[in-house]
């Protein structure tokens, strides 16, 4: 027996099954295909404006910051203002994301733009979130050339742009969007769900921001829902 066969055989012996039972198989297949929701909290079930407010509140509760802008044209100025406000060099890195690439960065004057994955030398990165969850103030980012995963973790400051229409009530809604974008059962290499900046409480349970990931997380919500 291979180790695989041995483990599966012991599991089956313990459960008193053979693995061939049609009812068990159909039950599992149905759950995987139907993915029934469980208990979904009331908290996020709000009309669009209330949902955005909840999202902003929860991001702040997780020690992140939030601002809102009317459209993409305002992004460069907002990014530059945030960097200046924190005495950071006017330089960012972002991926090939169409929305970020088409932003009028020139409007921000001397802002230096680098593109692609991070090698750890960047102080600030800008990403475009796939979605955001109001329930907990969580950003959902997907890997790939558009928004490289390294940008989420290596820079000191992470600025995340999210479209107001992509702020959903709860995790279940975010999962449904992933499914409809990538296909049932299919996922991008990495889905990063991010709630606030990196932190550690490993030294005498004192909470300190900026453990291994970004010390600051700034969210820019674009447009109206």
Partner 1 sequence: MTDVATHAATSPRFKDNAKSALADADLQNALKFVEVNFIARRREAAERLPEFDALRDSARDIKDHTLAHLDLYLEAYENRVVERGGHVHYAVTGEDARQIILDICRKLGARTVTKGKSMVAEEIGLNDFLAAQGITPIETDLGEYIIQLRHEMPSHIIAPAVHLTKAQIESDFRRVHAHLPAGRNLVEPTSLLTEARAVLREKFLAADVGITGANFLVAETGSSVIITNEGNGDLTQTLPKAHIVLASIEKLVPTLEDLSQLLRVLARSATGQDMSVYTTLSTGPRRPDDPDGPGEYHVVLLDNGRSSMLAGEFRDMLRCIRCGACMNHCPIYHAVGGHAYGWVYPGPMGAVLTPSLIGIDKAGHLPNASTFCGRCEEVCPVRIPLPRMMRSWREREFEQHLSPATVRSGLAFWGFFAKRPWLYGVATALAARLLALAGRTRGRFSWLPLASGWTRHRDFPAPQGGTFQAQWNRQRGRLARPVGQADGPNL
User: Rounded to an integer, what distance in angstroms lies between the CA atom of residue 89 and that of residue 112?
Assistant: 9
As measured in angstroms, the least distance from the Cβ of 82 to partner 1 is 20
CB neighbour burial string for 56-89, b if at least 16 within 10 angstroms, e if fewer: bebbeebbbbbeebeebebbbbbbbebbeeeeee
As measured in angstroms, the least distance from the Cβ of 192 to partner 1 is 5
> DSSP letter at 138?
E
* Cβ-based nearer residue to partner 1, 64 or 108: 64
Q: Which residue carries 């960097």 as its tokens? A: 83
Which residues sit opposite 199 in a β-bridge?
209
> DSSP letter at 168?
E
As measured in angstroms, the least distance from the Cβ of 77 to partner 1 is 28
Q: What tokens were used for 191? A: 């889905």
* Cβ-based nearer residue to partner 1, 70 or 121: 121
As measured in angstroms, the least distance from the Cβ of 219 to partner 1 is 14
* Cβ-based nearer residue to partner 1, 106 or 189: 189
Give yes or no for a contact between 129 and 161, defined as CB atoms under 8 angstroms apart: yes
* Cβ-based nearer residue to partner 1, 188 or 225: 188
Closest CA to 208 of 220, 196, 218: 196
As measured in angstroms, the least distance from the Cβ of 24 to partner 1 is 6
* Cβ-based nearer residue to partner 1, 151 or 220: 151
Q: What tokens were used for 173? A: 């809604």
């Amino acid at each position: 027996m291979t180790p695989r066969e041995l483990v599966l055989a012991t599991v089956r012996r313990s459960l008193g099954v053979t693995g061939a039972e049609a009812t068990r198989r159909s039950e599992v297949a149905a759950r995987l295909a139907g993915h029934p929701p469980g208990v979904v909290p009331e908290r996020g079930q709000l009309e669009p404006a209330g949902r955005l407010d909840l999202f902003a509140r929860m991001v702040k509760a997780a020690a992140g910051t939030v601002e809102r802008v009317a459209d993409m044209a305002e992004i460069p100025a907002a990014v530059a203002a945030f960097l200046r406000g924190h005495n950071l060099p006017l330089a960012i890195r972002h991926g090939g994301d169409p929305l970020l690439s088409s932003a009028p960065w020139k409007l921000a004057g001397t802002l230096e733009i680098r593109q692609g994955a991070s090698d750890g030398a960047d102080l600030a990165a800008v990403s475009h979130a796939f979605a955001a969850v109001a329930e907990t103030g969580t950003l959902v980012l997907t890997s790939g050339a558009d928004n490289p995963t390294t940008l989420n973790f290596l820079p000191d400051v992470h600025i995340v742009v999210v479209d107001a229409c992509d702020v959903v009530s709860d995790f279940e809604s975010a999962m449904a969007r992933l499914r409809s974008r990538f296909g049932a059962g299919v996922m991008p290499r990495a889905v990063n769900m991010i709630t606030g900046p990196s932190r550690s409480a490993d030294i005498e349970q004192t909470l300190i921001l900026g453990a291994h990931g970004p010390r600051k997380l700034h969210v820019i919500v674009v447009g109206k829902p």
